[in-house]
């Protein structure tokens, strides 16, 4: 096996143009992007937002208590006296009033402007881009929410949030509305558990919330990790492409004539990929760190975790190299195979946040991107850089191990039997 691994490493290392590309280009890009985005995400200045939200209230709050009482008696089989007591307590916690007080509070007013409009007018303004979103309070929302909490049943009516397209501002509005709903549901549940007659609705506060991370995650760190993983994908594609050179030079046929099991050829590709990927990412991270101070004041344990995760990514990419190599050996046209590999690299790179910051992609693309090798590696390292807790990366690391076995099995299954290579 040593001769096979040495062969693959020498074939790659002799290509100085390719070697300099995967080692130096990501560092140049990290430096350029770091200066281009300097201060955009790491500014210490207070963040100001001016979000525009339309509120369309279709509920009739005057009839809410009467509707609640009727449903408690008829649907939940409460005694009338008991229903009256519940209604009396519920008058202090009407959800629509709580929502209104929250939206009109001083904290929220600092970053959200509320417009009370009819649905048609609000929809037109949202479509025109004058408003970031619209919140509809449907008919019967208050009564249904209170009934669901006291009768211990799921609600049938909910707030409706609409936006023309998903942007940072519209998503921020959606999150803060969802935060209000979750807090209100929590208070209802707390009241149910304690059996209290009143609910002290501790509403969410406006502004920025510190999530309690041990270390901040900067855009310089993001670019370093993302570009290192992206060019590791190019290393994998290059290792597989070198198989085409070996086919043209009859290397694979000479291996078969020497009566050596062809599986050693595939294993050699995988092991050399591991060495090259580890070398490439470690070089990019260390040089970027010394030039830009990417990971300041971190412990030996932190760097040990970084190295372990790099090795884990290298294992996954070695399985991907096995798939690429098996595909190339089965195809007649080497150039067509190389095109397929580059297309796959571009796809993984885009979804995994290598070409565009993953936070700028739609939510559904972000979720898909986390299931690419480089996207999952970026997610794990982001968690490790921020918290440096082993427990937070165990599960995603197991996913990486699963990817390694899956890719390896596919590569071995596709690897042509003796005499079947093109």
55 DSSP β-pair partners: 116, 135
Residue 146 shares a structural domain with residue 247: no
Domain membership of residue 141 as a residue range: 51-194
Q: Taking the CB of residue 178, how many other CB atoms lie within 10 A of it?
A: 13
Q: Taking the CB of residue 262, how many other CB atoms lie within 10 A of it?
A: 18
Residue 366 shares a structural domain with residue 224: yes
**pLDDT computed for residue 40 by the predictor:** 52
**pLDDT computed for residue 255 by the predictor:** 64
The region, left, alpha or beta by phi > 0 then psi within -120 to 50, assigned to residue 372 is: beta
Residue 169 shares a structural domain with residue 233: no
Residue 327 shares a structural domain with residue 372: yes
With respect to residue 282, please indicate whether it lies within any of the assigned structural domains: yes
Residue 189 shares a structural domain with residue 241: no
Residue 389 shares a structural domain with residue 354: yes
User: 145, 160, 194: which is the final residue of a domain?
Assistant: 194
With respect to residue 363, please indicate whether it lies within any of the assigned structural domains: yes
Are 368 and 350 spatial neighbours (Cβ–Cβ below 8 Å)?
no
Going by their DSSP bridges, the two strands 112-116 and 133-137 should be labelled as unpaired
Residue 143 shares a structural domain with residue 267: no
**pLDDT computed for residue 317 by the predictor:** 95
With respect to residue 263, please indicate whether it lies within any of the assigned structural domains: yes
Residue 322 shares a structural domain with residue 364: yes
With respect to residue 259, please indicate whether it lies within any of the assigned structural domains: yes
Residue 127 shares a structural domain with residue 150: yes
Residue 159 shares a structural domain with residue 38: no
The tokens describing 124, both together, are 């037109």
User: 129, 159, 194: which is the final residue of a domain?
Assistant: 194
**pLDDT computed for residue 201 by the predictor:** 44
With respect to residue 56, please indicate whether it lies within any of the assigned structural domains: yes
**pLDDT computed for residue 212 by the predictor:** 47
With respect to residue 201, please indicate whether it lies within any of the assigned structural domains: no
With respect to residue 120, please indicate whether it lies within any of the assigned structural domains: yes
In the chain, the number of structural domains is 2
Residue 84 shares a structural domain with residue 32: no
**pLDDT computed for residue 203 by the predictor:** 46
**pLDDT computed for residue 303 by the predictor:** 94
Residue 97 shares a structural domain with residue 154: yes
- Residues in the chain where the model's pLDDT stays below 70: 1, 38-49, 90, 92-93, 166, 168-169, 183-214, 245-260, 417-422
Phi, psi of 248 (to 5 degrees): -65, -35
With respect to residue 235, please indicate whether it lies within any of the assigned structural domains: yes
């Amino acid at each position: 096996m040593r001769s096979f691994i040495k062969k693959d490493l020498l074939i790659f290392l002799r290509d100085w143009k390719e070697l300099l590309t995967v080692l130096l280009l990501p560092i140049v890009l990290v430096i350029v992007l770091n200066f281009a985005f300097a201060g955009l995400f790491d500014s210490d200045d207070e963040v100001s937002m001016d979000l525009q939200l339309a509120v369309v209230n279709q509920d009739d709050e005057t009839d809410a208590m009467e509707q609640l009482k009727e449903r408690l008696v008829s649907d939940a089989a409460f005694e009338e006296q008991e229903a009256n007591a519940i209604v009396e307590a519920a008058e202090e916690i009407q959800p629509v009033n709580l929502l209104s007080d929250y939206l009109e509070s001083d904290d929220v007013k600092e970053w959200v402007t509320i417009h009370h409009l009819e649905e048609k007018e609000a929809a037109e303004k949202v479509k025109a881009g004058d408003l970031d979103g619209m919140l509809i309070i449907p008919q019967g929302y208050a009564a249904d929410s209170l009934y669901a909490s006291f009768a211990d049943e799921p609600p049938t009516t909910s707030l409706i949030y609409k936006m023309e397209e998903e942007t940072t501002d519209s998503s921020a509005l959606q999150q803060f509305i969802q935060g209000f709903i979750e807090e209100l549901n929590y208070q209802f549940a707390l009241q149910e558990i304690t059996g209290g007659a009143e609910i002290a609705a501790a509403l969410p506060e406006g502004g920025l919330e510190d999530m309690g991370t041990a270390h901040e995650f900067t855009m310089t760190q993001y670019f370093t990790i993302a570009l290192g993983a992206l060019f590791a994908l190019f290393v994998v594609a290059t290792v597989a492409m070198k198989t085409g050179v070996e086919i043209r030079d009859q290397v694979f046929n000479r291996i078969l004539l020497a009566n050596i099991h062809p599986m050693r050829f595939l294993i050699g590709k995988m092991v050399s990929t591991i060495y090259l990927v580890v070398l490439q990412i470690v070089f990019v991270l260390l040089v970027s760190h010394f030039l830009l101070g990417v990971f300041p004041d971190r412990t030996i344990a932190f760097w040990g975790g970084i190295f372990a995760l790099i090795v884990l990514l290298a294992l996954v990419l070695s399985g991907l190299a096995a798939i690429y190599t098996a595909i190339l050996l089965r195809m007649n046209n080497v150039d067509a195979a190389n095109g397929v590999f580059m297309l796959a690299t571009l796809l993984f790179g885009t979804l995994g946040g290598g070409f565009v910051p993953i936070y700028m992609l739609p939510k559904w693309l972000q979720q898909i991107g986390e299931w690419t090798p480089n996207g999952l590696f970026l997610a794990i390292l982001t968690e490790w850089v921020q918290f440096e807790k082993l427990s937070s990366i165990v599960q995603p690391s197991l996913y990486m191990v699963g990817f390694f076995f899956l890719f390896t099995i596919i590569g071995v299954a596709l690897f042509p039997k003796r005499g079947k290579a093109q």
